[in-house]
Structure 1
């Protein structure tokens, strides 16, 4: 379970607040102060201090700043004199600072009082994230340019042949290609799916294990692939889960993920399930294809696997940036560090693999304030699902108040959204077992 960061609401208080970050290395701890909405630039910090500092784990920071001794003014002033300080240059000269530590919610005023022998450094360590790029609707052509430039930045390769060859991405297995064709064919059904599953022993075993899992609660024994698909799971579910496994087998989950982050498959399964539950609550005139809503949720974070494949040497640094800036959307940090995001690169690859338009377009636009086109409902379902799951500590990223306008755009009430997450939480044990099944399939 990830440690949630409740982000300050926008307004004058947020603008004047200063973020307090606890970092450490082999030499000990250090406190860093920077504007609350900024991104901590670790490279600049490392250069300024000559130390390879990294943020302490979220749960450790929460425990440290929640100590009883830090709830008093005396304890807070003692804290600020106990460690070396690095202060962003933009804050120099202020008479006092309103400090906030995001994991614990600790907030207090610091009047710039330092000890005589205390080490204090000023430097430009904050970066303003490029929100503008995330708010506009990305396109396929723009994605290709961004991905190409990002890869060129980190490798000696120059793009002189097709992008797929240059990036060195693995090809899809024949079974996966057949499943994608079935997923894209509106007339396909179980008669076409059963033979494909039968020919793949690994997929057959997975389908049987899903059919007998507690989450699907099939009545009676399931004796064959035909029964598992026709009587228990259905065409849409088998196709979508099979695609999720197939994608995960093409690209492995990176080992160097941010500490304390939600496991990849757990986040995928929970997001897919919640997208499906929310879709079923939509009014009939706004209700999308429930199967595609599940698939969008299942693959929403697939681009992270692609980043791990393309930028493996840089992933450790990226993870340290995410840990040090938990108040920012991870894609904003990726844009700053890599010049490309998981949403761009994941959407591009899924499009090149001929997945349905609704899927890759929704994944591309999951950060857009106003998603456009036929995918907009799927993108909004994805946004709402992530907000709800983060609130419960079941997905990574900053926690914001539930957006009533987002619910209204879907035709949902806040109460219906809350009901959907409550329903999901009632199946946690079964969903965790399904997550373990998918993880074992990948291994």
Structure 2
């Protein structure tokens, strides 16, 4: 019996290379694999889904179970798995249980498990109980171009199969060949990036003007009531122990905070208003701003403890700490479904690094290559396009890289140290990635001083939590 007619038309129309393997008639896909002497670890199956928004198909490795709860939570859907009988209504020219993974032929959206993307070839049902399809990797990836891609299955045996090289099948590789400028150009061409908010631009211009004064800065901030409120809360926090009365932003700047600190804080907070992401979850706005503000305060304080010969500027250290994770905001802004999955996976697997989590989530169509780069690279691109200082751009791009050597290396190490110290206290978006003792030695900071500083600042930073809640609201 030939393969399903709609599937055959789709393959011919797309110009896909597929080998048909004929075998004795089978009662199930598992039996078909055995009859055709196909490799189970190179095989994929369809799971048909339905909710009130319509049907879809999950394509997962043979021998795995679909994580339906993860899909529903991440995509905001309420899918249920259809029976074979109901699935047949979607694949009308296919025999029961022999539904092909190339479900686009039937007008069905696909949710693809990323573990299939690097296989040399994939075995699939063809709609016929006596024929299998063997699809080469390039043709398979071309056919899956518009699918939602994420890690959505669980291996029943508890361990993923290995590729022919003996290495575990992994997700798509990073775009290692792209430069920061190349990524920026491509990202700008394909997506509408958020412009820097006007208030942030005005503040940035003031910071580069040697004649700018406190009164001009206060005037810009006061035009934005929510920003003015946040600056006032910051000035009244336990970080500064000021017990006098502050009646306006001008007082907060002039008496407590100073021009440099307020300009950096305000620029970061104003820039953050360009994004719209959820408040909840380990990557949501509340956690994001807590991590960013605590990192900024700690990085600045550590810069003052560091060896003076390194010549770290506390103002640059504060801004680098504040902006280093802005890639998270851009991912959430440009790719909401993928961000939901990242947020869910981050919560479910707290022991993994963000890089490992990000490699489990790829995205729809062209988004996958940018998600695969990771939030660090994407954040560096954004800060570059916005004209932020080079030290902040480098820190954003390299804050996850161990043993980084290059320009602004000490600022990278400074923020890595702040992140590692905070991670040990349960603050941040990933476990401690770096050796605190080694980083302290490299910065000329005594370990006892660093730990004492951390405990002191954490106690003081708790007074910022109400301000953080307002920012995330």
Pairwise same-fold verdict (TM > 0.5): yes
Post-superposition shift, 1:185?
A: 4.6
Post-superposition shift, 1:384?
A: 0.8
Post-superposition shift, 1:166?
A: 3.5
Distance 2:266 2:218 in 1: 12
Query: Which residue in 2 is equivalent to 1:367?
Result: 400
Contact 1:281 1:412 in 2 (8 A): yes
1:124 paired residue among 161, 171, 193:
161
2:310 is paired with a residue whose SS is coil
2:356 paired residue among 319, 332, 337:
332
Contact 1:386 1:395 in 2 (8 A): yes
1:268 paired residue among 292, 314, 325:
292
Distance 1:141 1:290 in 2: 28
Distance 2:317 2:70 in 1: 38
Distance 1:254 1:231 in 2: 35
Seen in structure 2, the aligned counterparts of structure 1 residues 313 and 433 have a Cα distance that, compared at 3 Å, is closer
Query: Which residue in 1 is equivalent to 2:65?
Result: 49
Post-superposition shift, 1:342?
A: 0.8
TM-score normalised by length of structure 1: 0.63
Query: Which residue in 2 is equivalent to 1:397?
Result: 430
Distance 2:64 2:312 in 1: 52
2:308 paired residue among 263, 284, 293:
284
Distance 2:286 2:61 in 1: 27
Query: Which residue in 2 is equivalent to 1:195?
Result: 219
Contact 1:203 1:242 in 2 (8 A): yes
Post-superposition shift, 1:383?
A: 0.7
Contact 1:269 1:298 in 2 (8 A): yes
Contact 1:240 1:294 in 2 (8 A): yes
Query: Which residue in 2 is equivalent to 1:143?
Result: 183
Contact 1:207 1:238 in 2 (8 A): yes
Query: Which residue in 1 is equivalent to 2:196?
Result: 172
Query: Which residue in 2 is equivalent to 1:212?
Result: 236
Contact 1:261 1:396 in 2 (8 A): no
Distance 1:401 1:350 in 2: 24
2:455 paired residue among 395, 410, 422:
422
Post-superposition shift, 1:426?
A: 2.5
Seen in structure 2, the aligned counterparts of structure 1 residues 374 and 132 have a Cα distance that, compared at 3 Å, is same
Contact 1:170 1:250 in 2 (8 A): yes
Whether 2:390 is the aligned partner of 1:357: answer: yes
Deviates more, 1:195-204 or 1:257-266: 257-266
Seen in structure 2, the aligned counterparts of structure 1 residues 200 and 406 have a Cα distance that, compared at 3 Å, is same
Query: Which residue in 1 is equivalent to 2:260?
Result: 236
Distance 2:457 2:61 in 1: 42
1:228-274: CA deviations, max 9, x gaps?
21111111221122122212211023357459997111111111111
Seen in structure 2, the aligned counterparts of structure 1 residues 167 and 185 have a Cα distance that, compared at 3 Å, is farther
Whether 2:337 is the aligned partner of 1:313: answer: yes
1:385 is paired with a residue whose SS is helix
Which ranges in structure 1 are unaligned for 5 or more consecutive residues? 1-41, 58-87, 89-118, 149-162
Contact 1:180 1:354 in 2 (8 A): no
1:49 is paired with a residue whose SS is strand
Contact 2:279 2:285 in 1 (8 A): no
Distance 1:425 1:220 in 2: 23
Distance 1:220 1:179 in 2: 27
Query: Which residue in 2 is equivalent to 1:413?
Result: 446
Seen in structure 2, the aligned counterparts of structure 1 residues 201 and 324 have a Cα distance that, compared at 3 Å, is closer
Q: Which has the higher contact order (CA 8 A, sep 6+)?
A: 1
Query: Which residue in 1 is equivalent to 2:420?
Result: 387
Contact 2:197 2:273 in 1 (8 A): no
